[in-house]
Structures are given as structure tokens and as C-alpha cells.
Structure 1
Amino acid sequence: MTEYHNKILGQKEPRLTKRVRTVLLRSLRWVLARLSLAGAQRLGRMLGWVWWLASARYRRDLSETLAHAGFSERALRRRVIGETGVQVVEALWLWLQPYARVVSLVRSVEGWEAVRAARTSGKGILFLTPHLGCFEITSLWAAQAMPLTVLYRPPRQPELVPWLRAGRARGGVQLAPADRSGVRQLVAALRRGEAVGLLPDQTPKAGEGVWAPFFGRPVWTMTLAARLSLMGDVVTVVVWGERLPNGAGFRLHFAPVAWSGDEAVATRAAQINRVLETWIRRAPEQYLWGYPRFKVPAGVAPPVETAHG
């Protein structure tokens, strides 16, 4: 569960008591267990509009983020509203499905040859999975072929913790908490020539990021991905799960990052953002635009452009 999905499921608008939230989550679980993928996605689109109508903050964040990135089309915004709901509900649905069924939903894969070559050479693999399409399925599918350690942030709702752990820690997936101990687990796994995964487009805390361009504007960008990429014998691969129409499943895209040669952390962080932009433009409706990436986080000095503007 990502930081932003935690916010969605813990919306303060409208305010829900713990008891009501527990009943709703149990009801949702009962319903999802009986739906097909297409049915879960239809439910997600409906709930996406419910969140849009219920939360003024969400409406503002989504609209502002799209505008900052240069996407002003009303039709795209309508698709984004629905697909954001799909991303959340789809993840919950996948956690409930048998592992064999989950991996069978991958209909085609592009770029796996680069991953196979890295494995053959004994190199560690750093998977960077943006909030694009279905990122839950990418780790579960890849973990069929290799041990994979992924960072995760526990949900705010305690009721979801066993649901998340049971759904994600399958195949060869091992979970690492999003703290210093988890980062140490990632480093150790890479040194063993294993694979690790993280979401490179989450906003880090003060002291854990740099300002780097994203769709032409500076965003506070994590440095962890860049630092891990600088470890010796590590191949960096961007991966995302494209959602196919009408509940048909997913197409996975694996693309190794060709670094510019500059090993400065800030330069690599900016290059990661550029690579993510390229993929997001291929399916902008499947990106999590409601996540306020262009905000100045608490305790972080604004970029020069903002400070002087």
C-alpha cells in the first residue's frame, strides 16, 4: 500500500469511525472475493467517482497535478478519475486471488531479456515501479523467476495489514519496511546479486530528496533510487503493468535505464524522472495524478523558481 493509497482509504472527508471503516472493509473484501477482474475494475471506476465527489482536497490535488504536468484535457481528467479508483480496488482484488491466477493475468511481457541477462551475469537488479497502471502485479510476476525484496509502507488501517502481507509476500517476494532497516535489506539483497523493488515517484521526507524536473517543473524527488543504482554490479530497470481494456489482464513493460554517465545523485534522480515521463505519456490515464507531486513537503525549502516567484 502506497502513501497515497493510505490517504485514499483513510479519507477524512467524509469522516469514518473505526467501526464503520471495519465494516466497510469487510464488506468490500466479501464483494471483491466474488468478482472477476473486470467486475473489480468496474467497481473501482465507480468508487473513483465517489472519492472525486466526496473530497474537495482530492479534486484540487488531482486537477492541479494534471495542470502542472501540462495535461488540461477534460476527457483525460475523467478517465483519470475512474482509473485511480481502479488502481486501488484492483490491488485489493489481486491480494485476494490465488497466486497462480494472479500471474496468469499477465498476457504479454516486453523487455524481459534485459532482466534475464542481468540475472545470468550475477548482477543485482533494481526495479523501479512508478504509480502507473497495475504496479502490484509486477513484483508478483517477476518473483516467479528470482528472489525479490520490495519496500512497503503499512496501511493506516490495522485491518488491512494481514490482507496486504498475505497478498504481497508470495512467490519469491520478501517485504521490507520503508525505513532504515528496510533500506539495509535492499542493499544486502543487491550485494547478493538479487532483485529489489521500490516506487521512485513517492515524495520523500526532508533530507531524503533533491529538486529535479518532472514534466518541466521541479518536484522533490527521492535520492534512494539514484543511490542504489550507483552500487557496483547493479542494473536498473523501470517496470510497469499496463492495464488492458475490458478486464483482459495486463501487459508488463521492462526497460533498463541507460545512464548518461554522470554519477552525481542529483543527475541520476533527474534522469529517473525523465524516464518515468516517457512511460507515463504512453498511458497518462493510468498514472496516479491525485498524488500531489508538485507540492513543497513540510520542512523542505522550495526550489529557487518557487522561492523567487
Structure 2
Amino acid sequence: MLSLFRVFALFPLGLLQVMGWLLGWLAFLASPSYRRRFLANAALAGVSLRDVVAAVGHGGRMVAELPRLWLGRPLPSVWADNGCIERALASGRGVVFLTPHMGCFELSPQALARDYAERYGPMTILYRPARQAWLAHTMASVRERPGLQAVPTTLAGVRQLIKALRQGRAVGLLPDQVPPEGMGVWASFFGQPAYTMTLAVRLVQQTGATVLLAWSERLSWGRGVRIHVHEMQTPLAADMTQAVTQINAEMEQMIRACPAQYLWGYARYKQPRGES
């Protein structure tokens, strides 16, 4: 499988995106459970079918781009607005970047490492290891790049995040990823209870780091990615559930700004592992 990934990594980005669009629609049409979840999540968010139909193809593009993102030449990317990154990193307090399952979210850490690691040190990202042994090994190796350190969702990985923040460096998380039981709280997401990680809030509370919100907009015709970054509208509340709900609300705003590139098929409202 890794050899196949290496072959696809050589393909032009535009061709991969066309293949991904076809893959997305094939999955949508062939899998009733995926289709129901996709449509139900969009309906819960109050987003019309017209606004999310393009997300079917974008979901497939996300998968088709992975060989290029992991093993190929860097994707072209530009910053839509990066002034807040300079300010946050220069403060020396550390930065927690939060990115939803939206657009080309794998690219954001690569771009940050490329443009800021030399001055502010490597960025550390948290990832959930795959259950398949071959894929877990691949993910662990390909995500390690110059200026970028990938750590698993384990206690040792969390300790590395805290260490990086206390050194004034940046870390990255997917705040809308459903955590295991005991590592989250139930908080509103588009008006529905969703089990949401508390790790981002705990990192900020323990280190005093700045929170920045980012997402990578996939441009058409293989032109690359435009990365959007902004600060939270209000400081995080001291209460854990309130703070987590604030983060969910910020994620909602980002998604509503471009619903066509959100991964609506993600099982956001599922029960956490180990909970009946």
C-alpha cells in the first residue's frame, strides 16, 4: 500500500482532486450509512443541501490528496491573513492551533513549519494512530517533516505538547475529533450534544498559551490552498464546559463560512469509545 501511495504522490494535484471528486461521489452513492450521516449532520446544522452538495466531492478530495501531502512535493499554499501568527509566536507564550475537519486540514501544520519553524522552533501536532499496523507506521513516519513533530494521542504525546508550549512553540489539534471516554465533555455543537475534547482547554489553562483558529481552503483546479487564521473572539472561560462550548461555537462559525468544504460525513455525534 505504501508503494501505491508513492506512485499517487507523483500525480499532479489537479488530477488527484478529480479522482478524489469521483471517489467522494462513489462513497456517497454506494454507502447508505455514510449518506444518511452526511445529510443528517448537515440538517442538524441547518445548512441547505445546495450549500453542502459540493462537500461530497471535497470529502473524496481530502482522501485523494493524502499521498501528495504525505509523500510528494509540498502543495502550493498562501496565507490569507497571518499577522496574528507573528504576534502570537513572538509573544513567547506558545500557541495552540485549532483546526476542524475542514478543507485540506493536513496542510496547515506543514505550512506553519515551513514558514515559522526556523524562527520559532518546530511545531508539534497530535494525531490518532490508525488501528491497522501498516497505516499506523506510515502515518507516524510521513508526518515527521523538517520543523514538524507528530505525537500520538497518548499520555506521552500530551506531555510533549505541554513541553512544546512551555518552550513558546506551537502545537496543533483537531478539536472536533471525538475523544475517548474520560477525555471530553458533552457540549453543544450546532445545537446538539457532542462529546468534545477538553485537551485544548487544559493545554491553555496549564501553559497560558494563545489560541488561534485555522483552516485551509482548497482552491479549484489544483491551484493549492489558501490558509485562514484568526484569534478567538473572546478569552476562554475558566469553567471547562463553557470553554469547550466556546471552541465548538468558533468551529461552527468557521464551518458556516464555507460549508462546502466541511467533512459532513464525520461521525461527530457518536458515543466515545468505552461508553455504553
Query: What percentage of residue pairs aligned between the two structures are identical?
Result: 42
Q: Secondary structure at the match of 1:291?
A: coil
Deviation for aligned residue 1:34: 3.5
- Cα distance in structure 1, aligned partners of 2:175 and 2:254: 13
Alignment of 1:31-180 (within 5 A): 32-73=8-49, 75-98=50-73, 101-102=74-75, 105-106=76-77, 108-144=78-114, 145-146=116-117, 147-180=122-155
Is the CA contact 1:95–1:166 (under 8 Å) kept in the aligned structure 2?
no
Summarize the Cα distance change of 1:233–1:295 in structure 2 as closer, same or farther, 3 Å threshold: closer
TM-score in terms of structure 1 length: 0.81
Report the count of equivalent residues: 271
Deviation for aligned residue 1:158: 3.2
Q: Which amino acid aligns with 1:245?
A: S
Unaligned runs of 5+ in 1: 1-21, 302-309
Deviation for aligned residue 1:229: 1.8
- Cα distance in structure 2, aligned partners of 1:188 and 1:242: 30
275, 289, 293: which one aligns with 2:250: 275
Unaligned runs of 5+ in 2: none
Q: Tell me, yes or no, if structure 1 residue 194 matches structure 2 residue 165.
A: no
- Cα distance in structure 1, aligned partners of 2:268 and 2:15: 30
- Cα distance in structure 2, aligned partners of 1:160 and 1:296: 24
- Measured against aligned partners, the alpha-carbon deviations of 1:53-85 in whole angstroms (never above 9, x if no partner) come to 332221222122112111242x34431211101
- Measured against aligned partners, the alpha-carbon deviations of 1:208-248 in whole angstroms (never above 9, x if no partner) come to 11121111222111111111122343101111111111111
Is the CA contact 1:95–1:163 (under 8 Å) kept in the aligned structure 2?
no
TM-score in terms of structure 2 length: 0.91
Q: Who wins on radius of gyration, i.e. which is larger?
A: 1
Summarize the Cα distance change of 1:84–1:264 in structure 2 as closer, same or farther, 3 Å threshold: same
Deviation for aligned residue 1:260: 4.1
- Cα distance in structure 1, aligned partners of 2:147 and 2:215: 18
Q: Which amino acid aligns with 2:268?
A: R
Is the CA contact 1:152–1:176 (under 8 Å) kept in the aligned structure 2?
yes
- Measured against aligned partners, the alpha-carbon deviations of 1:19-39 in whole angstroms (never above 9, x if no partner) come to xxx4xx644542x23321111
- Cα distance in structure 2, aligned partners of 1:93 and 1:217: 35
Is the CA contact 1:259–1:268 (under 8 Å) kept in the aligned structure 2?
no
- Cα distance in structure 2, aligned partners of 1:191 and 1:163: 29
Cα RMSD, aligned residues only: 2.0
Q: Secondary structure at the match of 2:61?
A: helix
Is the CA contact 1:62–1:291 (under 8 Å) kept in the aligned structure 2?
yes
- Cα distance in structure 1, aligned partners of 2:273 and 2:228: 34
Q: Tell me, yes or no, if structure 1 residue 206 matches structure 2 residue 181.
A: yes
- The residue number in structure 1 matching 2:215 is 240
Q: Secondary structure at the match of 2:229?
A: strand
Q: Secondary structure at the match of 1:230?
A: helix
Summarize the Cα distance change of 1:220–1:162 in structure 2 as closer, same or farther, 3 Å threshold: closer
Summarize the Cα distance change of 1:285–1:292 in structure 2 as closer, same or farther, 3 Å threshold: same
Summarize the Cα distance change of 1:185–1:211 in structure 2 as closer, same or farther, 3 Å threshold: same
- Cα distance in structure 2, aligned partners of 1:268 and 1:85: 32
Is the CA contact 2:162–2:207 (under 8 Å) kept in the aligned structure 1?
no
Q: Which amino acid aligns with 1:252?
A: I
